[in-house]
Amino acid sequence: MSAPGKQVPKHVAIIMDGNGRWAKQRGWPRLKGHEAGAESVRCVVRLCRDLGIRYLTLYAFSKENWVRPEAEVSGLMRLLRWYLGDQEHEFHKHKLRLRTIGCREDLPAPVRREIERIEQATADYDAGQLILALSYGARTELAAAARAIAARAARGELDPESVTEATVAAHLYAPDVPDPDLIIRTSGEMRLSNFLLWQAAYSELYVTPVLWPDFREPDFMAALTAFGARSRRYGGLGGDDKDATC
């Protein structure tokens, strides 16, 4: 399989939205939507592997999601643990590294143990990386980076005048991971919802009305087609704009 368009992203990040609405449309409990969304995760992981997309970051559970009903949160944690166990053989078979970003200490102990076990078992794999954002919030990440930099400055390890964008980036949760080239949001909502705010500075955004449990190969390929047709300027001028005067 080859990706459409003239460029293939190295890193795709996805805000997986719409599970609850998908379930509500069918008169089902919200957790049924999350369960259905697990199949979309499997589909996208496979496509990234087949297309040579090296990094896939999935916004699986935000810091704000803890305020949801206890039954839904508990169900999501059980589903996460089940998914990790169910897919572990795929990580090993395809040499896929599992990573997480976020406040891991917020997660239930059995979930943390499962994550840590699989992270350690896949740490040396280099065919691609699946990064799960769990109990994640971009503002929390930036605040943690600021505290770490301030602590280094207080210890005399770092001159505050030397702090640059690269310094901040080096103190984020996954400093070795390149910024996402493409951020996809399902369900039609036009916002980032506190997701990768620093890393998204020059990411291409693609919003689809498709709800996450319905998101499959044609929808992912449509996002890649749109990405491939764009001119990424990074603040400069694209080929069609070289003679622009404003």
- With a CB cutoff of 8 Å and minimum separation 6, the contacts of 234 are 202
The Cα–Cα gap between 57 and 45 comes to: 10
The Cα–Cα gap between 161 and 158 comes to: 9
Where do the domains of the chain lie?
Answer: 11-137+180-227
| Phi, psi (deg, nearest 5) at residue 98 | -100, 135
Nearest CA-CA partner of 93 in 127, 116, 117, 120: 127
- With a CB cutoff of 8 Å and minimum separation 6, the contacts of 156 are none
Residue 243 has pLDDT above 50, yes or no: no
Q: Is 17 an active-site residue?
A: yes
pLDDT-derived band of residue 4, with 50, 70 and 90 as boundaries? Answer: low
- With a CB cutoff of 8 Å and minimum separation 6, the contacts of 227 are 5, 7, 9, 181, 182, 204, 206
Look at residue 7 in the predicted model and tell me its pLDDT: 83
pTM given for the model: 0.93
Task: Convert the pLDDT of each residue in 27-60 to its tens digit.
Answer: 999 999 999 999 999 999 999 999 999 999 999 9
Return the number of other C-beta atoms located less than 10 Å from residue 52's C-beta: 14
Please give the DSSP secondary-structure letter assigned to residue 98: E
Residue type present at position 139: R
Relative orientation angle of helices 30-51 and 217-228, to the nearest 10 degrees = 50
Q: Is 240 an active-site residue?
A: no
Residue 240 has pLDDT above 60, yes or no: no
Rg for the chain, CA atoms, rounded: 19
Q: Please, are residues 4 and 221 in contact by the beta-carbon 8 Å criterion?
A: yes
CATH of the domain spanning 11-137+180-227, picked from 1.50.10.10, 3.40.50.720, 3.40.1180.10, 3.30.70.260: 3.40.1180.10
Residue 201 has pLDDT above 70, yes or no: yes
The Cα–Cα gap between 49 and 71 comes to: 34
Residue 76 has pLDDT above 90, yes or no: yes
Kindly name the residue from 65, 106, 179, 194 that is annotated as catalytic: 65
Kindly name the residue from 17, 19, 181, 219 that is annotated as catalytic: 17
Q: Please, are residues 138 and 197 in contact by the beta-carbon 8 Å criterion?
A: yes
The Cα–Cα gap between 190 and 193 comes to: 9
